[in-house]
Structure 1
Amino acid sequence: MKKLTKYYYGNLFTPETNALLAIMLPILTPAMPHYVHTFYSELMDDESTARFLSNELVEHRLTTELAKWLAQTFAPKTAEEMVESLRFQQRIGEVHARVEIPMSLVNSAMTIIKEEMFKTMVSSDLTDREKVRSVVLINRILDGAVSLINDSYLRGKVQNERSTLEYRGASSAHELALEIERVKTSLYNWMTRKMVCYFSGEEIFTNSVYANDFGLWIKHKFPLICSKPERYEKVINCLDRADILRERLNERKTGEEGRKEMSDFTETLNEVIWLLTDEADSSLAKESKQDALTHLLERRFLNPILQQETKLAIQSGSSYAIIMADIDNFKQVNDQYGHQVGDQVLSTVSKTIKEKIRLTDYAFRYGGEEVLILTPELDLQGAADMAERIRRSVEQQHIQLGNEQGINITVSFGIAVFQGHPDFLHLINAADEKLYEAKSAGRNCIRY
């Protein structure tokens, strides 16, 4: 085993290899833009990988990041710099796990870059012995780096899968049943309005089923809580069929043909209602997944949900927003009135947030007094309007304390909207920066 450790990435940077890298770098560095260009040109020509790189913003950023990665990976390193380099490679793997870039893509990248680097060194003015040593070292360094990236990637993927399963398996049966009832009511009312419009000769609604509250909920939330993938597929198939029938009904078919279309339309939507009822009935024995104090979702469920929303946004060309909400002067409340009052404030604000967000939105307890709200298919103005409704509602509340005293509280908000970058951590950081701006601007306000 001791003999194998010399091949580990962390043990590659000896005084001897550092000296060789110092000779290699002046040769490799001018060619690094070429390596990056060749890499992306090859991948963009491949249909299986181009979908990960089609966004211009991502492509530009990844081009810069790959160049930086090459420069950092092949730089000579001291023992202290080696520790940071190990962490650097592990962070790359964590990003790949969040973005869900297949490791086959990373491995292909290494093959392309290796070949180009080998060509550079072979055509250089180094001695034959130095060329051989350089090619061997390039191979060892890239293999070692990919090994670290793969290991970190797999750990991240396993953690995300575990969180997804926990989220699905730890649902509150009572709350899930209530939410499904709300969805069913929304669907039934929409279907009834359709029928009334059709038979009365009024204008038929032209919006897709997915543009309504029940459709958005099924698209964004149902896949995460549905206990059986085949049930989810049946629901989606029914909604897709209902959408086709809805378009046919807009053609104003009359007589027997029209009645047949309407019968098929209502029967298809009734099947969706039945499938949702079946899901509610099958989840009655499950436990709660909420934070005990705030009844918001726990932060550990954030990654798989954001991963899904990012994937949906990229595939459909839609967007979503993140709203970061933070209770103003919360530490002062705890210091002056005690943690029991602090808990009461947290509970009150959380309840207000849950009342003001839509059926399709998620609210997470992100930190001590910080809440993250995820709003699928909502633009910047829509997210700002939602934040303002919450801000105004909290500001107007007077929290009564046990000693007949009362306090008023406020909340600050930072908002960011998905712009195409597949790593959702960038969006969280952007919303967090806007929250900091709101705090700096005097609190009790919104920045986006």
Structure 2
Amino acid sequence: MTARSAPADAPVGAAPDAPADARPASPVQPDPGLLADWARRVGALSDGIRALLAVVVAEGGPAVADHFYGVMLEDPRAARYLDVDQVRERLKPSLQRWLAALLAARPGDIDALQATQEHVGQVHARIGIPVDLVARGGRMLKDDLHAGIRRHAGSDRLALDAIVCADGLVDIALESMTRAYTRSREAAGQVDGAFRLFSLIQNIGTERERQRALLLTWENALIYALTSEHPGPPAPLQISRSEFGLWFLHKGMASFGDTTETREVNLIAARMDSILRARLPEADTIAARRELLDELRAGADAIRSLVTIMFDGIGDLESGRDALTRLLNRRFLPTILRREIALQANTGRQFAVLMLDLDHFKSINDTHGHEAGDRALKHVAALLVDNTRGSDYLFRYGGEEFVVVLGSVSHEDAKAIAEGLRNAIASSPVALADGSTLSLTGSIGVAVQDGHPDYERVLARADAAMYAAKRGGRDRVVMDDGDLPDPPGVRALQH
């Protein structure tokens, strides 16, 4: 079962509070140069400057927050991200806490500071906040801080030193956010592109065999040329100019993305072409050309193996399809939820997320074996397909968890569909290999999109509702009412 973090505030650039996934994608190491710059700027804070900045934030923080969010709410684009209640209850206090932590930082706080800015940048990317709003927010904060520093400094020298320090800390915080924002947006763009390709590719196995055949065609042409008396110039024989090479450059890289395998294919192909250009003109004997051919064919074999690995990946897990249940896996869930959020914003049509967890699944594996567990998962997947609409998205989220995204539904519609799924599971035992049957039940949490732009929020709400169903006795549906306790194991990112 999943464990999600409680909501964590992301105040800068008009970002709303948003939960961070407790199981993030591949973590990225902080830039050592950036951490060194953090250390330098934090080290420049003298006791006098710290005391002055503390007074500025303590006395002027509420006014700074009022000005900041007042201007943000005047921008029509910010209406998607902000509402008055959210600003008053969460974001204004959060902004003041963020400023206080940033301007009072000590050397031991640097890792936490960097992690906070990374998290905020990821939230900005996830909800698609315009980056110029973030830059505007930073400019406004610095202007207000300058005015407060000049009021309280007592001397021009202290005011100047404090302004330089405050500007440096705000700037490096924004740089850290932007770095995380850019990385997250690029990753999301790659996944969105992969989803488009996945949606278009009807038979990945056919495409894989076609590319293997094109690679073999190039290899046969190479053999023919190098075993003839006059092999000709090297350029037409280069693998980068072959049909396979052109496909890999223009479509293969777009499909598979920047992976270890694609980088290795590029390196091997470049090395093969370099060897061909350098040695073919001098290979004036059969023996020399035979040696060259053997070396190039070894490279082709290596590329063929890598292509097989890549297609095997895109054919199951990397394609977004769970190998066991044939439902979508969680890879494309953010893509789908972002699209549904945009649809809701543009059309007003709500969507809902159902989080379903099979009850007592561990005991099924322990008592009946993993083969029975696999049968149960496939059985439930089939029931999901039979009891949902063609417009709904079905995911195996991980382990014994499933996620259903219901488009264009009301609160009542979502509850009715969830109850139908629960009843279908409870009334349809799974057949085991020995001819016996096993009764199943599921606990389902339901959250209807509330207009919040961060897809992690609706997931966390559905997750909390599912845990409430578990705590309430299992084999039941719980609708999120906005006031459920967090699921077990969550942690808030504190500023």
TM-score (norm 1): 0.70
Of 87, 92, 97, 1:68 maps to 97
Q: Which amino acid aligns with 1:84?
A: A
* Cα 1:397–1:112 shift into 2, 3 Å: same
Of 35, 44, 54, 1:25 maps to 54
Q: Deviations over 1:79-99 (max 9, x none)?
A: 1x3211211110000100111
In the other structure, the counterpart of 2:472 is: 441
* Cα 1:416–1:24 shift into 2, 3 Å: same
**1:58/1:421 contact within 8 Å kept:** no
Q: d(CA) in 1 for partners of 2:396 and 2:48?
A: 51
In the other structure, the counterpart of 2:133 is: 105
Of 321, 325, 339, 1:308 maps to 339
Is residue 78 of structure 2 the alignment partner of residue 40 of structure 1?
no
Q: d(CA) in 1 for partners of 2:147 and 2:98?
A: 20
Q: d(CA) in 2 for partners of 1:140 and 1:351?
A: 57
Q: Which amino acid aligns with 2:41?
A: L
In the other structure, the counterpart of 2:159 is: 131
* Cα 1:418–1:39 shift into 2, 3 Å: same
Q: Which amino acid aligns with 1:74?
A: L
In the other structure, the counterpart of 1:88 is: 116
Mapping of residues 267-282 of structure 1, within 5 Å: none
**1:53/1:59 contact within 8 Å kept:** no
Q: Which amino acid aligns with 2:471?
A: S
Distance apart, 1:291 and its partner CA: 0.8
Q: Which amino acid aligns with 1:385?
A: A
Q: Deviations over 1:91-135 (max 9, x none)?
A: 000100111001111000000110011001012143222111110
Distance apart, 1:173 and its partner CA: 4.9
Q: Deviations over 1:27-47 (max 9, x none)?
A: 222211111111122223334
Between 51-60 and 337-346, report the one with greater CA deviation. Answer: 51-60
* Cα 1:432–1:133 shift into 2, 3 Å: same
Which of structures 1 and 2 has the larger relative contact order (alpha carbons within 8 angstroms, sep 6+)? Answer: 2
Q: Which amino acid aligns with 1:400?
A: A
In the other structure, the counterpart of 1:378 is: 409
Could you say what secondary structure the match of 2:447 adopts?
strand
Q: Deviations over 1:257-311 (max 9, x none)?
A: xxxxxxxxxxxxxxxxxxxxxxxxxxxxx95641111111121111121112112
**1:57/1:421 contact within 8 Å kept:** no
Distance apart, 1:20 and its partner CA: 2.4
* Percent identity of equivalent pairs: 28
Distance apart, 1:22 and its partner CA: 3.4
Distance apart, 1:400 and its partner CA: 1.6
* Cα 1:10–1:169 shift into 2, 3 Å: farther
Is residue 178 of structure 2 the alignment partner of residue 150 of structure 1?
yes
Q: d(CA) in 2 for partners of 1:392 and 1:420?
A: 29
**1:55/1:420 contact within 8 Å kept:** no
* Cα 1:376–1:64 shift into 2, 3 Å: farther
**2:57/2:100 contact within 8 Å kept:** no
Q: Which amino acid aligns with 1:443?
A: R
Q: d(CA) in 1 for partners of 2:100 and 2:418?
A: 43
In the other structure, the counterpart of 2:385 is: 354
Of 320, 326, 335, 2:351 maps to 320
Q: d(CA) in 2 for partners of 1:427 and 1:399?
A: 31
Unpaired runs of 5+ in structure 1?
A: 177-226, 228-285
Distance apart, 1:63 and its partner CA: 3.1
Instruction: Indicate the RMSD between aligned Cα atoms, in angstroms.
Output: 2.5
In the other structure, the counterpart of 2:458 is: 427
In the other structure, the counterpart of 2:396 is: 365
Could you say what secondary structure the match of 1:106 adopts?
helix
In the other structure, the counterpart of 2:43 is: 14
Mapping of residues 339-350 of structure 1, within 5 Å: 339-350=370-381
Q: Which amino acid aligns with 2:454?
A: D
Q: Which amino acid aligns with 2:160?
A: V
* Cα 1:41–1:15 shift into 2, 3 Å: closer
Unpaired runs of 5+ in structure 2?
A: 1-30, 205-254, 256-313, 480-495
Distance apart, 1:16 and its partner CA: 4.2
Of 411, 417, 425, 1:394 maps to 425
Q: Deviations over 1:305-351 (max 9, x none)?
A: 11121122123233211110000011111111111111111111111
Q: d(CA) in 1 for partners of 2:362 and 2:68?
A: 51
Q: Which amino acid aligns with 2:91?
A: L
Between 59-68 and 369-378, report the one with greater CA deviation. Answer: 59-68
* Cα 1:315–1:5 shift into 2, 3 Å: closer
Q: d(CA) in 1 for partners of 2:182 and 2:474?
A: 41
In the other structure, the counterpart of 2:305 is: none
Q: Deviations over 1:157-185 (max 9, x none)?
A: 01111111111112375599xxxxxxxxx
* Cα 1:55–1:354 shift into 2, 3 Å: farther
In the other structure, the counterpart of 1:169 is: 197
Q: d(CA) in 2 for partners of 1:145 and 1:5?
A: 10
* Cα 1:28–1:66 shift into 2, 3 Å: closer
**1:391/1:444 contact within 8 Å kept:** yes
Q: d(CA) in 1 for partners of 2:145 and 2:438?
A: 66
Q: d(CA) in 1 for partners of 2:133 and 2:122?
A: 15
Between 303-312 and 91-100, report the one with greater CA deviation. Answer: 303-312
Of 427, 432, 442, 1:411 maps to 442
**2:149/2:163 contact within 8 Å kept:** yes
Q: d(CA) in 1 for partners of 2:392 and 2:165?
A: 51
Q: Which amino acid aligns with 1:359?
A: G
Q: Which amino acid aligns with 2:65?
A: V
